[in-house]
Amino acid sequence: MRTAQEKHGGSMKTKARKVSGKVQGMLVKGLVRGTAATLVAILSSLGNLAIAGDPFRSSDPHDIGDRTEAAFEALFVEGNYPAANDAILKAIDEEPGEPLAHALNGALAYVYGDWDRLQAAAAATEAAATALMDTDPLRGNLYAAVGHALWGGFAISEGGGGPLQGGPEAFSRLQQAQAALNRANEIDPDDPELNLLRGFLDLLVAGNLPFLNLDGAIAQLQKAQPDYLRHYGLAMANRYLDQPNLALAEIEQAIAIAPENPHLIHFRGQVLTKLGTAARDVSQLQQAEQDYVAVLEKHEQLPRPMIRHLEHNELRRLRRTIQELSGGAT
């Protein structure tokens, strides 16, 4: 028979495994969401900058496919997902060796829940990254990390094993992604593309953990490019740190550069909602309402789940708050 101490020890080990599994799940979700969010932000917004060539580096540019960049410039000005989808598929067809195109394809697949496409994009991202190792090891390792993150996303998706069964595979991919990012960091710790992706990943991983330390993410984002994505990331960090006024200042700078981007406008609306609710300031809440309505006007360009959540949850709650504060509640 087992002694009381043995039973207690077994119970503690079981609890430890459960806690470890929970933390792993949080880490994986943060990594996957961070990768998707970062790539989708680039996808939906780089066209606003109308930059030819490398969008991440103003000096010492790396070789990035012209078709991928042209797709950004021609079709991503308004964050139009259907148009972006067509453009990315054309870029992949004509520039199969550009890992960013495959990574963006994976990000879209994750957003739309197309699991077969996500697997194909993850494999293609890894293959393109491997092919870059000899000529551009920094970007090779960077997109090797993205490939692992996309595979991790599939592992915990409905098409994979789900969060419970797919957790171990996804956590293994997380570790491999971090190792690849570390190798890229050894090559050039100040590289803007590396710091953009790593800053967002660290930010969103930290945001899914019970303990929050954003120092590393903030330091990386401060070295990231392009500028509007740097401001967007710093706005997110300040929101996590419950500094909504600082978050608002950063997102305003991002919007000044990319004024038509619906993700940035949506984020500003969320920050204004928080500020206005805390201060019981109807004018700020009405500004948030205007931002939400502006995003909904682009409903044909955006994923349906985002539009449904905004319309049926965020905007509805906001209008109820405005009514209550204005003395019009029934």
One domain for residues 96 and 237? no
Percent above pLDDT 90 for the chain: 41
- Which residue do the tokens 């094993």 mark? 161
Could you tell me which residue, 66 or 203, shows the higher pLDDT?
203
Domain boundary among 217, 237, 270: 217
One domain for residues 284 and 180? no
CB-count exposure of residue 30 (10 Å: 0-12, 13-18, 19+): buried
| Closest of 197, 239, 196, 170 to residue 27, by C-alpha | 170
Q: How many domains does the chain have?
A: 2
49 three-class SS: helix
Domain boundary among 167, 194, 217: 217
Q: Which amino acid is at 32?
A: V
Is 12 a member of any domain? no
Residue 315 to residue 47: CA distance in whole angstroms: 28
Q: What is the DSSP letter of 63?
A: -
Residue 228 to residue 230: CA distance in whole angstroms: 5
Q: What pLDDT digit, counting tens, does each position of 219-254 carry? A: 999 988 778 888 999 999 999 899 999 999 999 999
One domain for residues 238 and 275? yes
8 A C-beta contact, residue 56 and residue 226: yes
Is 119 a member of any domain? yes
Please tell me the predicted confidence (pLDDT) of residue 75: 39
One domain for residues 246 and 112? no
One domain for residues 196 and 159? yes
Is 3 a member of any domain? no
Least confident of 30-34, 41-45, 104-108: 41-45
| Closest of 71, 59, 141, 134 to residue 99, by C-alpha | 141
pLDDT band at 313 (very low <50, low <70, confident <90, very high): very high
End-to-end CA distance of the chain: give it in Å, rounded. 66
One domain for residues 268 and 177? no
Q: Which domain holds residue 107?
A: 21-217
Instruction: With a cut of 50, say whether residue 43 has pLDDT above it.
Output: no
Residue 132 to residue 296: CA distance in whole angstroms: 40
Is 179 a member of any domain? yes
8 A C-beta contact, residue 157 and residue 115: yes
One domain for residues 192 and 327? no
Instruction: With a cut of 90, say whether residue 281 has pLDDT above it.
Output: yes
Distances (CA, A) of 94 to 45, 53, 281: 22, 16, 52
One domain for residues 41 and 160? yes
pLDDT band at 207 (very low <50, low <70, confident <90, very high): low
Domain boundary among 173, 200, 217: 217
Q: What is the DSSP letter of 47?
A: G
pTM for the whole structure = 0.79
- Please report, for the domain that includes residue 292, its CATH number: 1.25.40.10
pLDDT band at 46 (very low <50, low <70, confident <90, very high): very low
Q: What pLDDT digit, counting tens, does each position of 95-143 carry? A: 888 888 898 888 888 888 999 999 999 999 999 999 999 999 999 999 9
Is 186 a member of any domain? yes
| Residues in Cβ contact with 4 at an 8 Å cutoff, skipping those fewer than 6 apart | none
Average pLDDT over residues 208-213: 65
One domain for residues 36 and 136? yes
Please tell me the predicted confidence (pLDDT) of residue 91: 85
**What is the radius of gyration, based on Cα positions, of the chain?**
21
One domain for residues 107 and 171? yes
Please tell me the predicted confidence (pLDDT) of residue 261: 82
Please tell me the predicted confidence (pLDDT) of residue 74: 39
Is 282 a member of any domain? yes
293 three-class SS: helix
One domain for residues 131 and 240? no
Is 53 a member of any domain? yes
One domain for residues 98 and 206? yes
Is 147 a member of any domain? yes
